[in-house]
Amino acid sequence: MLGNFSYCNPTKLYFGKGSIKYLADELPKYGKNVVLIYGGGSIKKNGIYDETVKILRSCGKNVAEIAGVMPNPTLKKLHEGVQIARRAKADLLLAVGGGSVCDYAKAVAVSVHCEEDPWEKYYVRFEEPDCEILPVGCVLTMVGTGSEMNAGAVITNTDAKLKIGHVFKDERVMPRFSVLDPEYTFTLPRHQMTAGIFDIFSHICEQYFSGEDDNTSDYLAEALMRSLLHSSRIANANMTDYEARSNIMWTATWALNTLIACGKSTDWEVHMLGQAVGAHTDATHGMTLSAVSLAYYRHIMPYGLKKFVRFAENVWDVDPDGKTDEQTAEAGLAAMESWMRELGLAMNITQLGATADMIEAIADSTLIMQGGYRVLTRDEVVKILKESL
């Protein structure tokens, strides 16, 4: 590895069936006032809400609630939550849900004691918090984002049509603890499960497709991808296969908890394209990534050919014998495409509601990253988006 890095991950995890009981070990570490944060109601239907509230009550907590956090949480909702958390004098924010709820809790955590406008400070100027940060705990119900063990918080500004993620450097923004029970994900609709699987895959690719050095992070990334492919096929055939779902859950956490970014410049352009599509369509995050990935990777393949050959051989078992490097690399992407079709992922942005006349505006919302194999021009962004229609 040639890059320098620092590594710190303070999130404590409780993994496996019945892990919710460990909430009772964590809660006494915080003050009396807990703000319970959740989404549109899935946790009320599947019983997770009742289990959580029972433990909160048994630990003697005062519980206020922020309900109705939508997928792709909005700035307006952030402002509303900040007011609720201030009124409740929150000592702990407990997020029970998927990446949207966990991200949202982190955004509230850095905003409650912030005197400035959080959008301007964190999502326009990308500053770090200089105020008190409320502690966040998570009970995860949807797998994919890695939000349970990272400092990322993505917020959508619907007026500006911008969906922006801030990955905070301050590790105090990371959840203090997260409860990961694979059975809690069994009630997810199939398309959410597969969107999450692709989100995980994309997170690994975003870090893998960068840099030229021989790097331990890349070997870890390949192992995570192989595990994910294996388990995704089992889970797709049988959504309640605990072993497969638990492997997927654990892979998601390691795919984006900073480990495999160590020593890497990392790309993240697929996420920038996907988030721009998301800002204009409000489509499911993982599906926005699947819809743009193939056009993007085929576009940048010539600039990172060696890594695409390695990807084909080590992740997709492509035999390079008798093939040019370009043919091996393309065979890898073809194998990836057929896996994506097998999972039933969105293969183009038209399926997500984007139309040709939206391309220029989506390109305007696309941030250009510097760390991958190609720094895109605006014309290239437009070309990739058109190829994704």
User: What CA–CA distance (Å, rounded) separates 10 from 177?
Assistant: 8
72 binds, among ligand NZQ, Zn ion, none (CB under 5 to 8 A by kind): ligand NZQ
101 binds, among Zn ion, ligand NZQ, none (CB under 5 to 8 A by kind): ligand NZQ
- Residue of the chain from 199, 206, 218, 267 that contacts Zn ion (CB under 5 A): 199
Q: Which lies closer to ligand NZQ via its Cβ, residue 40 or residue 263?
A: 40
Task: Give the nearest distance from C-beta 285 to Zn ion in angstroms.
Answer: 6
CA 70 to chain centroid, in Å, comes to 15
For residue 101, which amino acid is it? Answer: V
Binding-site ranges for ligand NZQ (CB under 6 A): 39-43, 46, 71-72, 97-101, 103, 141-142, 144-147, 150, 152, 154, 165, 184-185, 187-188, 192, 196, 199, 256, 271, 285
Are 336 and 270 a contacting pair, CB within 8 Å?
no
263 binds, among ligand NZQ, Zn ion, none (CB under 5 to 8 A by kind): none
Which tokens belong to 341?
Answer: 């079709």
# binding residues, Zn ion (CB under 5 A): 1
User: What CA–CA distance (Å, rounded) separates 269 from 277?
Assistant: 12
Q: Which lies closer to ligand NZQ via its Cβ, residue 3 or residue 165?
A: 165
Which tokens belong to 78?
Answer: 């952030």
Q: Which lies closer to Zn ion via its Cβ, residue 181 or residue 199?
A: 199
- Cα separation values, 235 from 96, 187, 222, 322, Å: 23, 13, 20, 35
Task: Give the nearest distance from C-beta 9 to Zn ion in angstroms.
Answer: 18
129 binds, among Zn ion, ligand NZQ, none (CB under 5 to 8 A by kind): none
For residue 291, which amino acid is it? Answer: A
Are 102 and 173 a contacting pair, CB within 8 Å?
no
211 binds, among ligand NZQ, Zn ion, none (CB under 5 to 8 A by kind): none
Which tokens belong to 182?
Answer: 């694979």
User: What CA–CA distance (Å, rounded) separates 173 from 122?
Assistant: 12
For residue 196, which amino acid is it? Answer: G
Q: Which lies closer to Zn ion via its Cβ, residue 51 or residue 199?
A: 199
Q: Which lies closer to ligand NZQ via its Cβ, residue 90 or residue 149?
A: 149
Are 63 and 7 a contacting pair, CB within 8 Å?
no
Q: Which lies closer to ligand NZQ via its Cβ, residue 55 or residue 142?
A: 142
List interacting residues with Zn ion (CB under 5 A). Answer: 199
